[in-house]
């Protein structure tokens, strides 16, 4: 059997449509990784044949994707905030919705001078996506990303090193437990917020991600409650706390922020129109 061409690989997309909403893109990303080319090259050279090693790799990757394994795990990478990040099954795959957390954080400090120094903490950093995205925009900030998982810390540190962001520190900590006392200007987090009984845990990419990074007790609110309760102890007066949460948790999170003394509380919606990020400012008044 002769080796298949780029175009013939792309024609296999319908076989993935039962498990993917982006079947053709999935194959394009696999080909780009195997051939070390960009998507424009694929469209320019559709008749190029894969060599034997490339075809063997394509067949393996295609089979894994057909079995539901996430593209990010197959190729070991996911882009976030235009940054190429290494990913693996030790933590969550960065998702586009989480970029809203970065956008809102930057908006809060948009009036700063370009060389203004701010201290930022990212709780449950995972791949390091949020803290590294902020670092890419704020070279004068001092940023700390922490995670309970040793494997996640190693992954985030790998990404930090590859991006050469020396103003970022990655360390292990179970939320605030191992953080030396410091008053941060902003704390951000994308914590576990899925109800353990949610049927979506058995569907799609999340089947391949660690449950510890996805689920939380109390209908998904337990970790959010803890971060809000403890967060003000680590914030400057007028410091901000921003949290990603589930589409139906906005009202509950706003209530928790207000109950714990935060002011200027609001929720922002993602591109799908869902409430996704809630934030509040530490009040200067004693609660």
The pTM is what? 0.87
27/163 same-domain check: no
CATH of the domain at 57: 1.10.8.10
Range of the domain at 144: 88-282
- Better pLDDT: 24 or 203: 24
Q: How many Å apart are CA 112 and CA 46, to the nearest integer?
A: 48
- Better pLDDT: 285 or 178: 178
Annotate 134-154 with DSSP letters as a single string.
HHHH-TT-EEEEEES-HHHHH
Mean pLDDT across 173-196: 89
**With bands split at pLDDT 50, 70 and 90, how would you rate the model's confidence at 252?**
very high
Total of domains in the chain: 2
217/145 same-domain check: yes
Does position 1 have pLDDT exceeding 50, yes or no? no
Residue 216, pLDDT score:
67
54/110 same-domain check: no
**Domain-located, residue 110:** yes
102/33 same-domain check: no
Residue 194, pLDDT score:
75
């Amino acid at each position: 059997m002769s080796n298949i061409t780029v175009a013939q690989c792309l024609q296999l997309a319908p076989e993935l449509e039962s498990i993917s909403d982006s079947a053709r893109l999935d194959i394009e990303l696999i080909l780009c990784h195997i051939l070390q080319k960009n998507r424009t090259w694929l469209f320019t050279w559709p008749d190029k044949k894969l060599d034997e090693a490339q075809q063997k790799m394509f067949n393996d990757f295609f089979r894994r994707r057909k079995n539901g394994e996430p593209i990010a795990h197959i190729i070991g990478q996911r882009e976030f905030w235009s940054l190429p990040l290494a990913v693996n099954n030790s933590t969550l795959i960065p998702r586009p919705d989480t970029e809203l957390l970065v956008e809102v954080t930057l908006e809060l400090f948009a009036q700063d001078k370009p060389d203004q120094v701010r201290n930022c903490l990212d709780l449950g950093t995972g791949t390091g996506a949020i803290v590294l995205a902020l670092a890419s925009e704020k070279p004068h900030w001092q940023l700390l990303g922490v995670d309970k998982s040793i494997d996640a810390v190693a992954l985030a540190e790998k990404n930090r090193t590859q991006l050469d962001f020396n103003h970022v520190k990655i360390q292990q900590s179970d939320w605030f437990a191992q953080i030396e006392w410091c008053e941060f200007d902003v704390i951000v987090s994308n914590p576990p917020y899925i109800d353990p009984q949610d049927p979506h845990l058995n569907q799609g990419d999340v089947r391949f991600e660690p449950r510890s990074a996805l689920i939380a007790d109390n209908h998904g609110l337990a970790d959010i409650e803890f971060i809000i309760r403890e967060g003000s102890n680590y914030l400057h007066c007028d410091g901000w706390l921003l949290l990603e949460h589930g589409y139906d948790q906005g009202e509950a999170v706003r209530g928790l922020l207000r109950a714990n003394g935060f002011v200027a509380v609001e929720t922002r919606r993602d591109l799908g129109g869902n409430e996704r990020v809630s934030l509040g400012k530490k009040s200067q008044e004693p609660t």
